[in-house]
Amino acid sequence: MASPERARAAARADGLAAGLRCMLGAGRPVPCSARGRAVLPSGWAEAVPAWRFPGRAGTREAARIRRLPHRLAAAEDLELVEVTAAGDTPAAASPDGGGLESGGPAGGGLDAAAALDLAGVRIGVAEAALDRATAYLGERLSDGSQLIRRQLVQGSVADAATELELCAADRSGSADVHRRLSEVEWSIACLFGGGGYLLDGPARPLHLARLVADTWAAPADPGRWG
């Protein structure tokens, strides 16, 4: 069985896809969004034992899987799939092959243990991004001084690191932890300056981690996953 610590370490060392593989290696069902879409490590769809649709579950044998092109996901060794239960009609694909709508309806829901592991993945991705942002700020100069030497910048880095540790210490399986992670992911993205706003920029893993969570997770109780 995966653990938040293992998923966190895998994501920090080897990226978002590696963290998700660690998490899904336990043979968990994968939740889909309300439109039947999910983001997975590339090639993983055939290994999914079951899919969780909003309000119901579907076995692998009873599901049809269609891969949708998504350039940003592919760049992180991920793929976007659309899963249709037998007898259902697939949702219309967007013209750009998207479906990772930030802030859109969340998916079929995670139980508390899976939500905790997903938090571990997101924390690991965020820690790796914070490491890259710190290195970036050490290289950037303003008035002849490294940006990382500025007190406000150091405070932002410290705040992000502290919030990640607080989220890691929370073992409740709470939806609030994932909301807090979304906030700290954005604060880390902003450390990259203008590049952090670009979906295909240095903060791309953070944007995709948020979108994975948005696609997978939809607690019926706003305070609890699953």
Answer with the residue of higher pLDDT: 208 or 173: 208
Once rounded to an integer, what is the mean pLDDT over residues 86-104? 38
Residues 49 and 123 in one domain: no
- What pLDDT score does 221 carry? 40
pLDDT for residue 89: 45
pLDDT score recorded for residue 193: 94
Task: Tell me the mean pLDDT in the region 39-50.
Answer: 91
Tokens linked to 206:
């953070």
Residue with tokens 């709508």: 101
Domain count, the chain: 2
Query: What contacts 24+ positions apart, CB below 8 Å, involve 190-196?
Result: 190/156, 191/130, 191/133, 191/134, 191/136, 191/137, 191/153, 191/156, 191/157, 191/160, 192/133, 192/136, 193/140
pLDDT of residue 13: 98
Asked if residue 129 has pLDDT above 60, the reply is yes
Strands of 63-68's sheet, edge to edge?
37-41, 78-85, 63-68
Residue 101 belongs to a domain: no
Last residue of a domain, one of 45, 68, 85: 85
Alpha-carbon gap, residue 105 to 127, rounded angstroms: 27
Query: For all residues of the chain together, what is the average pLDDT?
Result: 83
Domain match, 59 and 116 both: no
The pTM is what?
A: 0.84
Confidence category of residue 95, pLDDT binned at 50, 70, 90: very low
Asked if 132 and 54 sit in the same domain, the reply is no
Residue 55 has pLDDT above 70, yes or no: no
Has residue 94 been placed in a domain?
no
* Residue 116 and residue 190 share a domain: yes
In a domain, 99, yes or no: no
- Domain interval for residue 23: 4-85
